[in-house]
């Protein structure tokens, strides 16, 4: 499957790149946790480095340097993650198209799912008895539509109403603590009621996220409360996450700092901001990009029971 997907990108004119795993910042999302190490010079001076949680910062630096269509089959590392669909080390397929809108990379993810299934020869993607045929036209669903359909909740009317959102979540049957933030409530409803209902029979493309839930995506031109972000689901499993990329360095810095403030509050830690990355945003062209969980796609396309069944040497946790 690795070869099949690589060939697909080759036919599409992508350059395959290899971004370094060691970075000055692992990423600045509130709920992602990194592995930390340090670099030591010959005179024993030490400076912190992190294993990246995504090659995103490096890929965008390459776009700023002039690359136009790139893909990285990247080994990435995320702490505090284990389970049938989670591993602290896994392969992420991350790609970018300059001059492309979100619809173009949405179609990429659908095409890659079809390519994966063709490679294994299975009739459908499968997970825990559920099936999904990527050959069918996907279901395109906004977050507003998804919250109304699966949680009977008016997301639009609650974007600035944390207390009202808490009440709505509890009425929908979702257990949320009294001190939960707006983002915590959003995640609880999404994970409990919405994600499990997505991707049956056909792929679901979930899009137009609240802007506070899309730190690296640009705002929708028709409504800046929402962002040009999507996620792809099959059999209730998230397979891919994509953005029409934000290129405003000042706005990106503000979002990172807000996320790190929240991370400090919740987990007592924060990660550095990659200043070279923010500088590169100033010359980065308009682009859309996607991160796809390669191991998860192999699991669903092969009918495996766990991510460990499709990794050559799985990390034992």
Q: How many domains does the chain have?
A: 1
197-228 per-position pLDDT tens digit: 999 999 999 999 999 999 899 999 999 999 99
DSSP 223-255: EEEEEEEEEEEETTEEEEEEEEB---HHHHHHH
Q: Looking at the predicted structure, is the pLDDT value of residue 93 above 90?
A: yes
Predicted local distance difference test score (pLDDT) of residue 317: 79
**Per residue in 291-312, pLDDT tens?**
999 999 999 999 999 999 999 9
Is residue 234 assigned to a domain? Answer: yes
Residue 164 lies in a domain: no
Residue 53, in any domain of the structure: yes
- Which whole number is the average pLDDT over 176-187? 94
Name the pLDDT band for 2 (thresholds 50, 70, 90).
Answer: very high
Residue 161 belongs to a domain: no
Which of 131, 135, 142 shows the shortest CA–CA distance to 111? 135
Q: Which domain holds residue 94?
A: 1-138+203-309
- To the nearest whole percent, how much of the chain has pLDDT over 70? 100
Provide, rounded to the nearest whole percent, the portion of the chain with pLDDT above 90: 97
Q: Where residue 290 sits, what CATH number does that domain have?
A: 3.30.930.10
pLDDT given at position 232: 98
| Banded model confidence at residue 316, pLDDT cuts 50, 70, 90 | confident
The answer to whether position 274 is within a domain reads yes
Averaged over 34-51, what is the pLDDT?
96
In a domain, 175, yes or no: no
Residue 5: its pLDDT value, please?
98
β-strand partners of 90:
76
Query: Does the residue 248 lie in any domain?
Result: yes
Q: For tokens 């800046």, name the residue.
A: 224
d(CA 202, CA 248): 35
Give mean pLDDT, residues 218-243: 97
The residue among 127, 130, 132 whose CA lies nearest residue 309 is 127
* pLDDT at 269 (0 to 100): 95
Report the distance separating Cα 309 and Cα 17, nearest Å: 27
pTM over 0.75: yes
Inside any domain, residue 28 = yes
DSSP state of 197: G
């Amino acid at each position: 499957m690795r070869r099949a997907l690589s060939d697909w990108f080759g036919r599409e004119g992508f350059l395959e790149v290899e971004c370094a795993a060691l970075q000055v910042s692992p990423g600045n999302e509130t709920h992602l946790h990194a592995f930390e190490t340090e670099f030591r010079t010959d005179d024993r001076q030490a400076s912190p480095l992190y294993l990246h949680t995504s090659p995103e910062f490096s890929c965008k630096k390459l776009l700023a340097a002039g690359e136009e269509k790139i893909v990285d089959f990247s080994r990435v590392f995320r702490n505090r993650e284990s389970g049938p669909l989670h591993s602290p080390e896994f392969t992420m397929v991350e790609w970018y198209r300059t001059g492309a809108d979100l619809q173009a990379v949405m179609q990429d993810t659908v095409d890659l799912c079809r390519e994966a299934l063709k490679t294994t020869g299975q009739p459908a993607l499968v997970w825990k008895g559920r099936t999904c045929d990527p050959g069918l036209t996907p279901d395109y669903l906004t977050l507003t539509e998804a919250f109304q359909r699966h949680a009977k909740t008016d997301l639009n009317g609650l974007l600035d109403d944390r207390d009202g959102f808490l009440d709505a979540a509890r009425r929908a049957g979702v257990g949320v603590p009294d001190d939960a933030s707006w983002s915590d409530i959003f995640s609880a409803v999404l994970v409990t009621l919405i994600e499990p209902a997505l991707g049956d029979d056909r792929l679901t493309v979930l899009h137009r996220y609240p802007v506070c839930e899309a730190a690296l995506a640009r705002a929708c031109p028709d409504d800046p409360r929402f962002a040009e972000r999507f996620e792809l689901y099959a059999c209730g499993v998230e397979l891919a996450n994509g953005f029409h990329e934000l290129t405003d360095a000042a706005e990106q810095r503000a979002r990172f700092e807000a996320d790190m403030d929240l991370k400090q509050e919740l987990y007592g830690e924060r990660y550095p901001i990659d200043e070279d990355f923010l500088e590169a945003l100033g010359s980065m062209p308009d682009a859309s990009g996607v991160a796809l969980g390669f191991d998860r796609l192999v699991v669903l396309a092969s009918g495996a029971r766990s991510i460990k069944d499709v990794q050559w040497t799985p990390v034992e946790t």
